[in-house]
Chain A
């Protein structure tokens, strides 16, 4: 079994690499064919047409796309993803500056989504078919449907403008450097609460609905009735039989959700002024910063593939029969 797993693991890893290669190659060609010239802002109107052409040529964008592509691949193999036109820094360094925040922010949001939805579902399952069950189910649909920018602005209006409980935007106070260690921690938590609620609300609603539906399906299985008739305690039935079976389908959704979160949350980042991958990706596209666009998309693609892969590993851990099916 272990040998089988190792073999399929390598196969899956190689196919992931191929997917990323195709993604980056496709993007490389598409952005060069799209309109817009990144060299425009570097060319002064005072320059003679010859010198203006020379400046544009220094970006090597006048060369055939095939030549640019080969040079790009050779550089990437050597670990050089190029230099961002706007940041004047290596692409990987710029991406890391933004991804490090997104990683922590997304992970926190993901954990909150899982914990809240889990406990909410368990709480509501115990009150099945009662009024509260219906209210929470309807509410979860409403919360899931609210766009992030509406929720974010509403939260700011209530908690920042009217009650003055949280800051309107930013990751830290302006006087952060002068604070004590504990004050710094409080300050960061204080700043991140509204963005976390904005980012997590829809995910909580989504996970809640998935988990609740799955539990409802499992609860209607005859073996549960059999267990109840055999005198097993409800807690045992829930933890040992219902939850493991109900959680399994959720893992794939959670893997995709985590991948999306790690790719950046543009709306939340813009509203709350946070330095995440979503903003970086959009800004680089609008500025036609070709090397950075590729760096951002590669990172998002890689994390999406990685999180799905991890989700599959977790599913295999729960049910070993899935090894071959999932790894292929």
Chain B
């Protein structure tokens, strides 16, 4: 070693210092940086399968109508967006839509009725395999679920069109909520090749923001489109979605001020974030609930094509006893620090008009649980601490996907709770895809998972008795009364009647307890106080971000 070595180190340190200072000198003002965990693979709403793709494509592509959350009523209200106004036929057989004349694509072309018709055509085309394929039940469609364009749409002028609905349908504006796509840009592409087309990465869009930069796996930059009818002076000039796969890095960058907004913050980080002066934290619950699924039918028999009640969980009184035995409040208080609330049924309290306030959650009551189990013939005759009936122990395995600390904590509490009433529960984690496979094939007796609920309320997909038609009814719950309610909800009824039926549904589900509803988990969002006009609703935090401004 000679003098050269320390000299080289000195040069390196000066170089690092200079590069650090140099990077700090290039900061753009008037932008909001939002942290996300993964890059998008498309900017085309047809194929926006991930949550982040959905959020970004919703900003790029507007729909005919603007849906906003009405917190008073707990339901969606519709406002004009690309449709300036609309007129329903008195018998709801058709809807006339009048488009805005000041709405343009980013390449300068005007948005017309033809774009609207093209969008519904391509979204429902089985060849395209879009994310909304199969979702247009209230329109005329063929036996492949492709919308019958001729029967459904009548173009009156470039800015006026009529949508015709089948006589038996119960149409709503929600049926026409898919984003409008540019016909002139996409029609040249063979539909079979749309999914792999380069056009998905170079969008011609119509939103308040347009794509101006995409540094793959690093950041997505959207800039305010001054030609958009939504553009206003003072709106945020740039939205940057910064891709940071590691959660800890996202939190550090939020605290350091490198991020202005972060969703899906974990409860354990809230206190520290609240210490940062520039940050504000909001917690909303009601979109996702955790539950313990009790397979109502026997998985082995189901594999052989037979449906018989599950030996352990086929009886609603036993399922109720299990709910009494689990201290859900402890998990809510200890782990979720009271962010969130106990779940009673699958209908969220956010749907204020349809929520049944008369139903109260089952208490944690060990004695009651034991009484029910005893009355159902489960007794510890051999005094080994485990209940038996007909020579069989009350013993089972609870499965859940690996990598969720809340469920690790909850499973320990549940195991201890059930042990106290004489039930032996093993716990086993599983890789997510394997878990989903087993759920779909109904191979497990008991599991812990979550449901992210749709808006508006959807019951059929989860609770209807036809197990072939409703693959998401994982617990195989079957109740004829519930079926009747679900079928009534698919007929033309008033909003009041609809809410009444949903309340009745909740009462039956509460009585049957097909699963143990645990708690509504919180969606915690942290953002910089400098952003004004943020309206965080069950629809998300970023929706309507063109209304955000900066505090002066």
List residues of chain A with CB under 8 Å of any chain B CB.
35-37, 40-42, 44-49, 51-52, 54-55, 58, 83, 86-90, 97, 123, 153, 156, 160-161, 164-179, 183, 186-187, 189-190, 193, 269-275, 279, 283, 286, 288
Contacts and interface: CB of A to CB of B under 8 A. Distances in A.
B218 A171 contact: yes
For the complex of A and B, the 6 pairs showing the least CB-CB separation, nearest first, are: A36-B433, A275-B217, A186-B19, A44-B134, A47-B134, A190-B19
Contact of B245 (A54, A90, A179, A279): A279
Nearest to B47: A88
B195 A51 contact: no
Nearest to B33: A174
A286 B433 contact: yes
B218 A168 contact: no
A179 B28 CA distance: 12
A161 B433 contact: no
B135 A46 contact: yes
A35 B439 CA distance: 12
A273 to B, nearest CB: 5
Nearest to A84: B41
B196 interface: yes
B472 to A, nearest CB: 5
A103 B209 CA distance: 35
Nearest to A269: B245
Contact of B16 (A51, A86, A177, A190): A190
A176 B216 CA distance: 13
Contacts of B240: 174
6 contacts: A47-B133, A88-B196, A168-B253, A169-B249, A179-B26, A273-B249
B22 A45 contact: no
Given A187-B22, A275-B218, A45 B471 contact: yes
A98 to B, nearest CB: 8
A183 B22 contact: yes
Contacts of A36: 431, 433-434, 436-437
B219 A174 contact: yes
A90 B144 CA distance: 28
A169 B253 contact: yes
A176 B26 CA distance: 8
Contact of A165 (B1, B16, B196): B16
A45 B452 CA distance: 14
Interface string B128-147: 01011111010000001100
Contact of A37 (B132, B252, B437): B437
Contacts of A189: 15-16, 19
Interface residues of B, number: 64
A51 B248 contact: no
Contact of A172 (B33, B215, B469): B215
B200 interface: yes
Given A42-B129, A44-B134, A167-B23, A193 B215 contact: no
A35 B437 contact: yes
B102 interface: no
A83 B200 CA distance: 15
A314 to B, nearest CB: 27
B461 interface: yes
A189 B15 CA distance: 9
Given A40-B436, A55-B133, A189-B16, 14 more contacts: A44-B132, A45-B461, A46-B137, A51-B126, A55-B129, A58-B129, A88-B195, A161-B252, A168-B252, A173-B26, A186-B15, A193-B16, A273-B244, A273-B249
B19 A87 contact: no
A41 B54 CA distance: 14
A186 B18 contact: yes
B282 interface: no
Given A88-B42, A270-B246, A273-B244, A174 B28 contact: yes
Contacts of B47: 88
Interface in B298-331: none
A133 to B, nearest CB: 14
B550 to A, nearest CB: 17
B118 to A, nearest CB: 20
Interface string B234-266: 000000101111101100110010100000000
B215 A176 contact: yes
A44 B248 CA distance: 34
A159 B143 CA distance: 62
B218 A273 contact: yes
Contacts of A272: 246, 249
Interface string B209-224: 0000101111101000
A45 B252 contact: no
Contacts of A187: 19, 22-23
A62 B441 CA distance: 16
B20 interface: yes
A48 B221 CA distance: 39
A49 B134 CA distance: 11
A273 B23 contact: no
A271 B246 contact: yes
A51 B219 contact: no
B27 interface: yes
B470 interface: yes
B388 to A, nearest CB: 33
A177 B235 CA distance: 23
B129 A45 contact: no
A175 B245 contact: no
B216 to A, nearest CB: 7
Given A37-B433, A174-B219, A168 B256 contact: yes
Nearest to B258: A168
Contacts of B33: 174
Nearest to A273: B244
Contacts of B461: 45-46
Contacts of B200: 88
B468 interface: yes
A183 B258 CA distance: 19
Contacts of A174: 28, 33, 219, 221, 240, 242
Contacts of B196: 83, 88-90
B260 to A, nearest CB: 12
Interface string B13-39: 001111110110011100001000010
Given A47-B145, A88-B200, A273-B249, A177 B129 contact: no
B409 interface: no
Contacts of B27: 175
B396 interface: no
Contact of B249 (A52, A123, A156, A190): A156
Nearest to A275: B217
A156 B252 contact: yes
